[in-house]
Amino acid sequence: MTRILFYLKDFPIEPWRNALVAEDASLEFRMYPDWGEPSDGPAYAVVWEPEPGLLKKFTNLKAVFSLGAGVDHLLSDPDLPEIPIIRMGDDGLKEGMAEYILMSVLMHHRQMVPIASQQRNAKWRRVISKSANKVRVGIMGYGALGKKAAEILRPIGYEIAAWSRRQKGAEEGIKHFTGPDAINAFLRRTDILVCLLPDTDETNKLLNHERLALLPKGASVINAGRGSLIDIQALIAHLDSDHLSGATLDVVPEEPLPADAPLWHHEKVIITPHVAAITRTDTGAAYIIRNIKTIDAGGEPENKLDRNHGY
Ligand code: NDP
Ligand code: OXD
């Protein structure tokens, strides 16, 4: 029998119990705070934003599943046990993110930010948008989510480029840029910047005033990775000077965004409350059970955290 210890901050747990037990009826499902004895039997933990120090108490854990693709909520725990950490990478998560990116890219391409502002001011003025094949989309972070986003954007005809840390093989319809030496050229050719990077020491405030200035005039920015990537004051300065035409932010440096943050009311900014891709119980439960079986059989799980690189 496999025991799963479950801890989810701010999400209902019951749908997860049902989905996991539907995948494997032999599961013993324990919810915080009713864990039983921390030393009882081998177990897996499935968590989102656990209290720091909590996981250390469970000396028999074989692995921890992050109920999202990001692991910053775990790496901030100084007592995180040295066991495998598995990040979500199920199809539902990828599809959810691809939908969000498609929606946001189309919104910026078809200039919905100024059009919505015109509506608020009862202004009827035609706004003409370029054809898709003249719009250069740049995806920063070409991992599981970035790739899926490219897949959904490509048939529309956008000119797509991707920036990542490691060299990628040639791929039809994608121009690849790799590493710090290529970031400036990547930004200079990007009209709509899609950010899908993890929060690491290297990505923190990577998009500062100088780098945002490299984007062509009129470019827009979509961030659905982590809020730490962008210097928000620099972003606002570029929006106010009309260097940038708009931004869609699903993630911000401080979440929830404080009620008095000026960002809420900026004419050129669309805010969504970190909902670009929420792990779905059906595909998520199947992914967790599949990986538990792999580990139990002595295999290597999918999407294991690389602690050296922080993602
Ligand atoms: P992956 O690990 O699959 O991909 C991460 C990508 O970022 C890779 O392409 C990686 O490059 C690149 N990268 C990392 N560090 C650097 C760096 N220093 N320089 C250049 N490229 C870098 O992650 P996912 O695609 O699954 O998820 C990405 C992030 O999206 C998550 O970490 C999470 O923070 C966020 N997220 C947000 C959600 C939301 O609802 N807003 C939902 C889910 C995830 P390489 O390919 O070379 O390794
Ligand atoms: C994730 C997230 O990391 O929801 O999956 O942000």
Atom of ligand 1 nearest to the CA of 199: 34
User: Can you list the alpha helix ranges (DSSP code H) found in the chain?
Assistant: 14-23, 72-75, 91-109, 112-120, 144-153, 183-188, 209-214, 232-240, 281-296
Q: Which of 165, 167, 203 to mutate to test the pocket of ligand 1 (most atoms within 8 A of CB)?
A: 165
Neighbours of 4 (CB within 10 A): 22
CATH number of 3-90+279-296: 3.40.50.720
CATH fold label, 92-271: Rossmann fold (3.40.50)
- pTM assigned to the model: 0.97
- CA separation for the pair 234, 215 (Å, rounded): 13
Distinct helix (H) and strand (E) counts, the chain: 9, 12
Mean pLDDT over all residues of the chain? 96
| CATH 3.40.50.720 intervals, the chain | 3-90+279-296, 92-271
Q: Is 290 a catalytic residue?
A: no
Ligand 2 binding pocket (C-beta < 6 A) is 68-70, 88
What's the residue count for the chain? Answer: 311
Backbone angles phi, psi at 24, to 5 degrees: -150, 100
Instruction: State the catalytic residue, choosing from 3, 17, 226, 280.
Output: 226
Atom of ligand 1 nearest to the CA of 278: 40
- Residue by residue, pLDDT tens for the chain (311 residues) are 788 999 988 888 899 999 999 999 999 998 888 888 877 767 999 999 999 999 999 999 999 999 999 999 999 999 999 999 999 999 999 999 999 999 999 999 999 999 999 999 999 999 999 999 999 999 999 999 999 999 999 999 999 999 999 999 999 999 999 999 999 999 999 999 999 999 999 999 999 999 999 999 999 999 999 999 999 999 999 999 999 999 999 999 999 999 999 999 999 999 999 999 999 999 999 999 999 999 999 999 999 999 999 99
Q: Is 108 a catalytic residue?
A: no
Which amino acid appears at position 24 of this protein? D
DSSP state of 35: -
Q: Which of 252, 279, 283, 303 to mutate to test the pocket of ligand 2 (most atoms within 8 A of CB)?
A: 279
